[in-house]
Amino acid sequence: MRKYSLSFLKRGNANLLFNCIREKGPLTRAELSRITGLTPSTVSYITSVLIDKGILIELGTEKTNRVGKKGILLDINYDKFLFIGYDVGSAFTRIAVCNGRSEILTIKRLKTQRGEKLIQQITDNILKVISDFKITGIGMAFPGHVDPENKTVIRSHNLNLKSANITQIVEEKFGIPTFIDHNVAIMARAKMFLNPSSKENFVMINLGLGVGAAFVHEGKIYRGKNFVAPEVGHLLVNPNGRRCNCGKIGCLETEASSAAIVKNYEELSGVEVLDKSNSKYVYGLAKEGDESAIKAFQRAGKYLGIAVGNLVNILNPAVVYIAGGVSGGWEFIKDTFWEFYKENTFYASKDIPVKLLPMKEEITAVGAAAYAFEKYIRSEIIRKV
Domain closes at, from 57, 76, 95: 76
Please report, to the nearest 10 degrees, the dihedral formed by the alpha carbons of residues 222, 311, 248, 298 taken in order: -130
Surface-to-core class of residue 291, CB atoms within 10 Å of its CB (0-12 exposed, 13-18 middle, 19+ buried)? exposed
Q: Find the domain containing 262 and state its range.
A: 195-356
Question: Is pLDDT at 77 greater than 50 in this prediction?
Answer: yes
pLDDT tens readout for residues 137-185 = 999 999 888 988 888 888 888 888 888 899 999 999 999 999 999 999 9
Question: Is pLDDT at 75 greater than 50 in this prediction?
Answer: yes
Same domain, 317 and 267: yes
Same domain, 310 and 347: yes
* Within-domain flag for 121: yes
* Within-domain flag for 1: no
Residue 108: pLDDT band (50, 70, 90) is: very high
**Residue 28: which CATH number?**
1.10.10.10
Same domain, 49 and 90: no
Residue 372 in 3-state DSSP?
A: helix
* Within-domain flag for 375: yes
> In b/e form, how buried is each residue of 326-349, taking b as 16+ CB within 10 angstroms?
bbbbeebbbebbeebbeebbeeee
* Within-domain flag for 175: yes
Question: Concatenated DSSP letters for 181-230?
Answer: EEHHHHHHHHHHHHSTT----EEEEEESSSEEEEEEETTEEE-TTTT--S
* Within-domain flag for 110: yes
Question: Is pLDDT at 275 greater than 60 in this prediction?
Answer: yes
**Residue 310: which CATH number?**
3.30.420.40
Same domain, 136 and 41: no
Surface-to-core class of residue 82, CB atoms within 10 Å of its CB (0-12 exposed, 13-18 middle, 19+ buried)? buried
pLDDT tens readout for residues 237-258 = 999 999 988 889 999 999 999 9
Same domain, 374 and 238: no
> In b/e form, how buried is each residue of 18-48, taking b as 16+ CB within 10 angstroms?
bbbbbeebbbbbebbbebbebeeebbebbbe
* Within-domain flag for 237: yes
Residue 4: pLDDT band (50, 70, 90) is: very low
| pLDDT for residue 225 | 82
Same domain, 180 and 210: no
The rounded distance, in Å, linking the Cα atoms of 87 and 144 is: 13
Same domain, 328 and 379: no
Predicted TM-score (pTM) of the model is 0.83
| pLDDT for residue 121 | 94
Of the candidates 161, 147, 266, 272, the residue with the CA atom closest to the CA atom of residue 210: 161
- Contacting residues for 369 by C-beta, under 8 A, at least 6 apart: 83, 84, 85, 96, 97, 98, 102, 139
| pLDDT for residue 115 | 87
Same domain, 62 and 145: no
Question: What residue type is assigned to position 327 of the chain?
Answer: S
Same domain, 273 and 242: yes
| pLDDT for residue 343 | 92
- State percent of the chain over pLDDT 90: 48
The rounded distance, in Å, linking the Cα atoms of 125 and 72 is: 42
Give the residue-averaged pLDDT of 365-377: 90
* Within-domain flag for 328: yes
pLDDT tens readout for residues 8-24 = 777 888 888 888 888 88
Domain closes at, from 31, 56, 76: 76
| pLDDT for residue 1 | 40
* Within-domain flag for 185: yes
| pLDDT for residue 5 | 55
Rounded to an integer, what is the distance from CA 9 to the centroid of its chain? 29
pLDDT tens readout for residues 188-237 = 888 887 776 667 889 999 998 889 899 998 888 888 888 777 889 899 99
Look at 320 and 362; give whichever has higher pLDDT: 320
| pLDDT for residue 219 | 82
Same domain, 317 and 273: yes
Give the residue-averaged pLDDT of 285-297: 94
In terms of phi and psi (left: phi > 0; alpha: psi -120 to 50; beta: otherwise), the region of 357 is beta
| pLDDT for residue 130 | 92
Domain closes at, from 76, 104, 120: 76
| pLDDT for residue 12 | 82
Q: Is the peptide bond before 143 cis (omega within 30 degrees of 0)?
A: no
**Number of independent structural domains in the chain:** 3
Residue 3: pLDDT band (50, 70, 90) is: very low
Same domain, 232 and 172: no
Residue 61: pLDDT band (50, 70, 90) is: confident
Question: Is pLDDT at 62 greater than 80 in this prediction?
Answer: no
Give the residue-averaged pLDDT of 337-343: 94
Same domain, 72 and 84: no
